[in-house]
Each structure stands twice: as structure tokens, then as C-alpha cells.
Amino acid sequence: MEVQATFPRRVTSQVMVGDVPVGGDAPITVQSMTVTRTADHEATLQQIYDLAMAGADIVRCTCNDLDAAEGLARIVPRSPVPIVADIHHNHRMALAALEAGVQCLRLNPGNIRKPDHIRTVAAEARDRGVPIRIGVNGGSLHPDLYRKHGGMVTAEAMVESALTEIGYFAEVGFDQIKISVKASSVPLMVDAYRQLAEVTDYPLHLGVTEAGPPPAGMIKSSAGIGALLVEGIGDTIRYSLTADPVEEARAGRQLLEALGLRERRNVDLIACPSCGRAEIDVVAVAEAAMAAFADRKIPLQVAIMGCVVNGPGEARDADLGIAAGNKRGHLFIKGRNVAVVAEDEMVDALVEWAELIHEEGTEAALARVDTEKAAREAEKDRKRMLADQGDDVNHSTALIESIRLHGS
């Protein structure tokens, strides 16, 4: 499916994280991070595969000790996606991770502070052709910068931290850089990224750090990352959720798909909010459909509508949809009725038709059926519902009269 919308993108340099380009004209990538012990390479690899399946293009693993570095040596050759090693306080772990073959490092300038150590790691990364993410974090800002900026974490302080690190890298001729300036406050991180985008053309990794569990964590991440992406800022993203990291990868991918910045891979499920006309539990049917489509790579928009009176018209642009009426489900493709199924078979029918359209195309699916007969059945149920419910089932006319009364 074609990407539908793009936003003018900030011009950036490009780095290669293994075989995945980040920045420049490369697609915006999704990242996530394992929560297993890296030393447990089998469990970590299993999680990396799960993350890749859910939409992660790049995965980060902690490298907090030598056991973890040894785990990375086993993980990297078998990983389906490039691996970034997250380095905490010990620069020797960065050197060990490079030796293990990781395709990128993440250094936090607030944690590895000695310029000599930073230059040593950058020189080694330079020689190996491995990029580094400068991962500034509002919660672990370098103490000197914290003091300098009035004992506060500010956007200016985070940007200064990133620029200082770039300076150390430049001293050893290293420029394979991407940068993040994450904070748990959405306005602060948006401000910091905007300021950073003004002063550097390195690719930016977006995220709201410690966003928390869903749904609040999802909302904060979507607000911060989404706001920047529509401004053209951002080359790779990560949702930091207190949840199964598979949810992070899935959410990142869905955000990019929703913004038209990546091709759709999975079903885009839309559903009406339900109202007085609905004779089915729209929420329950939508949840059942989400579960049924979860692992199917079918890039179609599928609609679930509570009634056949308005549903097919309201969702006429969907690739496929179903609307309920008189204990039956009326399937439609691009607004054209194609079949009628029992109410309890609606989700199964959606999956079956979605697979058919995905494999054979819309025209071939339409050619298989008598659309006129299906339209007659839908019209029959529509008229029945209108006769039973009347044409103002949501009592809108009474509300409008009340508004006019109050307004006069």
C-alpha cells in the first residue's frame, strides 16, 4: 500500500546501523529495547525476534557487564535486526560491546563523563565504522550542566550536553552520530529536540523517557514523538513504556503508519463509536477483530460499524467493512455490499474476506459475488431497522429543539 502522507522532513546526515540507514532520506525507523538479561542470550534473542515481528527495525540491549558483552557476541550474529548496546557508567563495556560486534552504541553523556574515556570509545567506534547515539537524558544530566543551568533540567542544558559530546567526538574525527534528548516531560522534550534540530544536522532519535505504563505512557509518547514528526523532526523513534516491549515496537510502528510515514503492514481497524442504533456490542466485536488480525500481515483498512443504516456509507472508503442489522452482518468492500453473514460470524467473515482481498485484490473479490443481491438484503435490513427504531434513534431532534429553546 502506498504511503499516503509525508511531512517535509528536516535535512539530516545519515548513519548506517548495520544494514539499516538512519537519517537522510531513509524511512523513519522503530526501535525498542529488550528487558531480558543480555547474558541470557537465548531469552534475549527470542525477545529480539518478537520485537522484530512487532515492527522494530533496530533493537537495543543493555551491556552492563562482561557477561552481557559475551551475550552480545552470541546475539549479534543471530539477530534479525541490528543491535545497539546500551552503555551505562563503564566505558570499558562500550569497548567490549564493540568487540562483540554490535552495530551501534548508545552513550549517556551524564554517565560516562571523562573526556578521555569518551574519546577512546569514539576512536574505537570510528575505526570499526560503528555509529554512536548520544543519548542525553533529562533525568541523568551531567551535574556540571545541571548546576550551570540553575539546578534545573532545561532544554538548553540537554542540548549543551549533546553538543559537548559531539565536541569530544570531533577531536578524534568521529561523526557517525545520532542524538536523543529525552525527558519524561513532553513539553520539555519537544522543546529540546526543536532546539537541537536548529543547531545540528545529525539524525535524531525521538522518545519520551520513562513515559510509564499504557495508556498514559502511550499518550505521552504519541504526543511528544508525533508532534515532532509532523514538524519534520525525527529519524528514528522509541516508545519507552512500562510494559512488554512488544507493545513499544507495535506502538512505534502504528504511529508511523498512522502518520503515513511508513507503509502499512497490518490491518488498520476503524470502528464507529456506537450509538442508539447499534444492535451489537461494537467494542466487543472490534476487540475480537483486533485479536483475530493481530498476527496477520494484511495491510487493509477494515471497518466495524454498529448498524447497516449508516455504517456502509460512513465507512465507504474502507477496503472492507461489516455493519450489523437484524442479527446479521452485512459485508461491504469499498462501500459495495458483497455478502450477508450471521451476527456471530462477523469477525470470521472479516478475516476470510480480508485474506481474499489481500491475496487476489479488490476487483477479483467483487467479481466472485452478486453485489446487487447483497445490496438488496442490506436495504431490507436497513428498512427494518428504520421501521423499528425510527429515524431519530439518538433523539437529536429533541436535543436540537431544547438548544433552540434555550438560545431564544
Q: How far is the CB of 110 from ligand SF4 (least distance, A)?
A: 50
Contacts of ligand SF4 in 311-350 (CB under 6 A): 311, 314
Question: Residue 372 Cβ, how far from ligand SF4 at the closest point, in Å?
Answer: 23
- Report which of 35, 40, 39, 83 is spatially closest to residue 59, judged by C-alpha positions: 83
Q: How far is CA 44 from CA 127, 295, 345, in A?
A: 28, 21, 39
Give min distance, CB of 381 to ligand SF4, in A: 12
Given candidates 310, 326, 371, 389, which one binds ligand SF4 under the rule CB under 6 A?
310
Q: Rule CB under 6 A: is residue 305 a binding residue for ligand SF4?
A: yes
Nearer to ligand SF4, 110 or 311 (CB): 311
Cβ–Cβ < 8 Å for 307, 278: yes
Helices and strands counted in the chain (H then E): 15, 15
In the complex, the smallest distance separating the C-beta of residue 272 from ligand SF4, rounded to whole angstroms, is: 3
Told to check if 84 binds ligand SF4 by CB under 6 A, we report no
Q: How far apart are CA 229 and CA 189, in angstroms?
A: 13
Q: How many chain residues bind ligand SF4 (CB under 6 A)?
A: 13
Residue number of the CB closest to ligand SF4 reads: 306
Reference 356, options 325, 374, 331; nearest CA is 331
- Within residues 236-295, the interface with ligand SF4 by CB under 6 A covers 272-275, 277-278
- Max CA distance (Å), the chain: 81
Choice between 310 and 362, CB closer to ligand SF4: 310
Task: Give the nearest distance from C-beta 271 to ligand SF4 in angstroms.
Answer: 8
Segment interacting with ligand SF4, rule: CB under 6 A, options 42-50, 228-236, 309-317, 368-376: 309-317
Please name which of 218, 214, 192 lies closest in space to residue 205, comparing C-alpha atoms: 192
166 within 8 A of 132, measured Cβ to Cβ = no
Stretch of 191-199, 231-239, 300-308, 354-362 lying at the interface with ligand SF4 (CB under 6 A): 300-308
DSSP H or E run through 312: helix 311-314
Q: Closest Cα partner for 48 from 84, 16, 98?
A: 84
| Residue closer to ligand SF4 (CB basis): 95 or 341 | 341
Cα distances (angstroms) measured from residue 286 to each of 64, 224, 251, 252, 307: 42, 27, 18, 21, 14
Distance in Å, CB of 343 to ligand SF4, minimum: 14
Instruction: Report the nearest approach of ligand SF4 to the CB of residue 274 (Å).
Output: 5
| Strand, helix or coil for residue 230 | helix
Q: Which is nearer to ligand SF4, 314 or 381 (CB)?
A: 314
| Vertex 32: Cα angle to 30 and 35 (nearest 5) | 170
Segment near ligand SF4 (CB under 6 A), from 17-25, 201-209, 254-262, 304-312?
304-312
Minimum CB separation of residue 376 from ligand SF4 in Å reads 20
Other residues' Cβ atoms within 10 Å of the Cβ of residue 200: 17
Q: Which is nearer to ligand SF4, 247 or 314 (CB)?
A: 314
By beta-carbon proximity to ligand SF4, the closer residue of 81 and 346 is: 346
Q: Which stretch binds ligand SF4 (CB under 6 A): 146-154, 224-232, 260-268, 301-309?
A: 301-309
**Residue 76: closest CA among 30, 17, 163:** 17
Would you say 59 or 271 has its CB closer to ligand SF4?
A: 271
Nearer to ligand SF4, 98 or 378 (CB): 378
Q: In b/e form, how buried is each residue of 224-240, taking b as 16+ CB within 10 angstroms? A: bbbbbbebebbbbbbbb
- As measured in angstroms, the least distance from the Cβ of 313 to ligand SF4 is 9
Answer yes or no whether residue 307 interacts with ligand SF4 by CB under 6 A.
yes
Query: For the packed helices 186-199 and 216-230, what is the interaxial angle rounded to 10 degrees?
Result: 30
> Which residues lie near ligand SF4 (CB under 6 A)?
272-275, 277-278, 305-307, 309-311, 314
